[in-house]
Amino acid sequence: MKFKHIMLGSILALSITSIANASIIVIDDFSTEQLGVTAQSPATGASPNSSGWLQAGSVSDTSIIGGFRDLRVTAYDPAPDASSSIATAFVTGNEFSFSSGSGVLAQFDIRWDGASTGDNVAVNGLNNFDLSNESGTRFFTPIISADLNAWFSVTFWSDQLDDGMFKMETRNLYIPGHSRLNPADNTLNDPRQSFFTDDIFALTNFSKVGAIQVSGNIVIPDINNAVIATTDVVALNDDGNPIFEGSRIGDYDLRLTNTFATEVSAPGTLAVLLSGVFGLLMTRRRA
**pTM of the full predicted structure?**
0.80
- If you ran DSSP here, which 8-state letter would residue 129 be given? B
| CA–CA separation, 200 and 220 (whole Å) | 18
Q: First vs last Cα of the chain: how many Å apart?
A: 8
CA atoms within 13 A on the CB side of 37: 26
Instruction: For residue 102, give every residue at least 6 positions away whose Cβ sits within 8 Å of its Cβ, in sequence order, or none.
Output: 79, 82, 83, 84, 250, 251
CA 261 from centroid of its chain's CA atoms: 12
Q: How confident is the prediction along the chain (287 residues), in pLDDT tens digits per residue? A: 333 332 223 222 333 333 334 578 999 999 999 999 999 988 877 889 999 999 999 999 999 999 999 999 999 876 665 556 899 999 999 999 999 988 788 999 999 999 998 899 999 999 999 999 888 888 888 888 888 888 888 999 999 999 999 999 998 887 877 787 777 887 777 777 777 888 888 899 999 999 999 999 998 765 555 445 555 665 556 666 666 655 688 889 999 988 888 876 544 444 444 444 444 444 444 44
What's the rounded Cα separation, in Å, for the pair 250 and 99?
9
Helix or strand holding residue 68 (H, E): strand 68-75
Number of domains in the chain: 1
Burial of 127 (0-12, 13-18, 19+ CB in 10 A): exposed
User: What's the one-letter identity of residue 250?
Assistant: G
Amino acid (1-letter code) at residue 155: T
In a domain, 4, yes or no: no
Q: Let me know: does 142 contact 195? Beta carbons within 8 Å.
A: no
**pLDDT at 272 (0 to 100):** 44
Is 169 within a domain?
yes
Task: Supply the pLDDT for residue 264.
Answer: 66
pLDDT number for residue 278: 46
**Residue 15 lies inside a defined structural domain of this protein:** no
5 within some domain: no
In a domain, 84, yes or no: yes
Domain assignment present for 193:
yes
How far apart, in whole angstroms, are the C-alpha atoms of residue 196 and residue 152? 12
Angle, helix 267-286 to helix 2-18, in steps of 10 degrees: 160
Q: Classify residue 105: in a domain, yes or no.
A: yes
Q: How far apart are CA 132 and CA 155, in angstroms?
A: 16
C-beta of residue 208 within 8 angstroms of C-beta of residue 183: no
* Distance, CA of 99 to chain centre: 15
Residue 280: strand, helix, or coil: helix
Task: Answer yes or no: are the C-beta atoms of 88 and 72 closer than 8 Å.
Answer: no
DSSP 105: -
Q: What is the pLDDT of residue 187?
A: 78
| DSSP 8-state class, residue 241 | P
Q: Determine contact, residues 274/267, Cβ cutoff 8 Å.
A: no
Domain presence at residue 148: yes
Instruction: Give the structural domain span for 266.
Output: 24-286
CA–CA distance, 122 with 89 (Å, rounded to integer):
22
pLDDT for the residue numbered 161: 97
- Determine whether 43 is exposed, middle or buried from the number of CB atoms within 10 Å of its CB (0-12, 13-18, 19+): exposed
